[in-house]
Structure 1
Amino acid sequence: MRAALAVSDTPLARAAEAELRARHAFVPLAQAEVIVALGGDGFLLALLHRLLDDGVSLPVYGMNRGTVGFLMNHWSPERLPERLAEARGFALRPLTMTATTQAGETVVSPAFNEVSLLRETRQAARIEIAIDGKVRMEELACDGVLVATPAGSTAYNLSVNGPILPLESDLLALTAISPFRPRRWHGALIPNRAVVEFRILEAERRPVSAVADQVEVRDVTHVRVATDFGRSLELLFDPDYALDDRIFAEQFLT
């Protein structure tokens, strides 16, 4: 299997690159059947965004040369061709964030993990939430709110006590971040075909930013989030270290 190499610009990843290149032959991206990525989760997400923007649909096999590496396989320079041949694939469908700013600008960006709305000042954000055109919450006073994919449900979503979603589920997590009113509402599970819209109340007085993975848009007034069923990218995992099993196992950690 012809493989291209994508490497994070860190000493740890560069050292791993040198070790791999001494053992295995790699080809340019245009000739590759698979991409081997060396880095952490942040690097992998950035790589997926670049591939999506460039229309490249090659599967990606990541090896952890970062910190957490939840989306990565264990690092080893051994048996790389065999590991690639044995790897299991998982298709990741991104969300699409369409954010409108106070200045009237519209920014469209994909998100593989989550789209999050965050207050910009000391004052709580006030946000109206509509799903499929129907207002479900007239006002959420909070630090923020997010929509997470199953793959992203163990990231920021989990850190704010959102639910972990099995990778095969057709659901999204809608999770409040430090809700003040209503106090008891922390979120909901919604179908992944639902369209979620956020309208920022008192946008000038209580400014809010919207973040799609690593892309931030400041001073938004309206944000639309929907699953992009027309595009997907494939991540490859060792059979004994598969993403679906890791996400499931997270539910039993104490």
Structure 2
Amino acid sequence: MTTPQRYDRIAFVASSGAEAQQALTQLTQAYGNHDPDHADVVVALGGDGLMLQTLHRQMRSGKPIYGMHRGTVGFLMNEFRTLDLHGRLAAARETLINPLLMRATDVHGGVHLHHAINEVFLFRQTHQMARLRILIDERERMAELAADGVLVATPAGSTAYNLSAQGPILPINAPLLALTPISAFRPRRWRGALLPNTAFVVIEVLEGEKRPVAAVADHDEARDIRRVEVISDKTISMRMLFDPGHSLEERILSEQFGY
């Protein structure tokens, strides 16, 4: 039998909301609060926005992240309770996720490198729709997409912007990425594609001077983009902890049945 992992030194981080700050006070009094650099686990108190910020900050630390819902949207969070946190952490199940790496080149030749946990998306900067060319593994798959934009989503991010754009929900362990158009005009009936998570995705902006396009990796934005390259970065694995029965896999499965 596997010995449960012990997380004695806990670092708490919290959003600025009143609920999160109150929870931070309660939990700090009960369990102490270690510096994240010397903690065994980081516990994030807030919503999904805080979880994404925490994952970005801890991206290369290898520390497990456990979220408790004290914010608005809590898809990535566990239920908030103050009792027996050490026991909950020991019983939690671990999910590994890999971020996307975006390499965006702007019209001036500048290169912007950013990681994304949810998605990389391109979006028009003006009233005019974007014209985009899509290549997968160096093979042209779409000569021209006329749309507001397009996005590449991870399984963890498939229930975020991707779902709002009518993209598919992906099981967290599926070796897939979702390529989803945003308000496609031509081809009007194209709903996107499922790609292996080994795919090298290239999106080129056509008529970039006339129809400028921005590229965003989660919250990092680059403007006036000419070309975007996206890959799943297998050199980074982030560890997320979920209570038994409330794992990210279960949440994604539940979303597909509308509850």
1:233 to 220, 238, 241: 238
Q: Which amino acid aligns with 2:69?
A: N
CA distance in 2, matches of 1:31, 1:175: 40
Give 2:12's aligned residue.
5
Give the count of matched residue pairs: 252
Give the Å deviation of 1:75. 1.0
Q: Which amino acid aligns with 1:244?
A: E
CA distance in 2, matches of 1:250, 1:60: 22
Give the Å deviation of 1:218. 0.8
1:38 corresponds to 2:45: yes
CA distance in 1, matches of 2:102, 2:122: 11
Q: Which amino acid aligns with 1:6?
A: V
Q: Which amino acid aligns with 2:241?
A: L
1:81 corresponds to 2:86: yes
1:167 corresponds to 2:177: no
Give the Å deviation of 1:249. 1.0
Which structure 1 segments of 5+ residues have no match?
none
Which structure 2 segments of 5+ residues have no match?
1-6
CA distance in 2, matches of 1:91, 1:79: 24
1:151 corresponds to 2:156: yes
1:185 corresponds to 2:190: yes
CA distance in 2, matches of 1:140, 1:72: 36
Give the Å deviation of 1:180. 0.3
1:104 corresponds to 2:109: yes
Give 1:22's aligned residue.
29
Give the Å deviation of 1:228. 0.3
Residues 42-97 of structure 1, C-alpha deviations (whole Å, 9 max, x = no match)? 11111111222xx3110000001110110011111111111101000000100000
Give the 3-state SS of the residue equivalent to 2:211 in structure 1: coil
Residues 147-171 of structure 1, C-alpha deviations (whole Å, 9 max, x = no match)? 0001100110001110011111101
Q: Which amino acid aligns with 2:126?
A: T
CA distance in 2, matches of 1:141, 1:49: 32
Instruction: Report the TM-score, using the length of structure 1 for normalisation.
Output: 0.97
On the 8 A contact 1:64/1:75 being kept in 2, the answer is: yes
Give the 3-state SS of the residue equivalent to 2:146 in structure 1: strand
Q: Which amino acid aligns with 1:11?
A: A
On the 8 A contact 2:10/2:31 being kept in 1, the answer is: no
Q: What is the identity percentage for the equivalent residue pairs of Structure 1 and Structure 2? A: 52
Q: CA RMSD in A?
A: 1.0
Give 2:257's aligned residue.
252
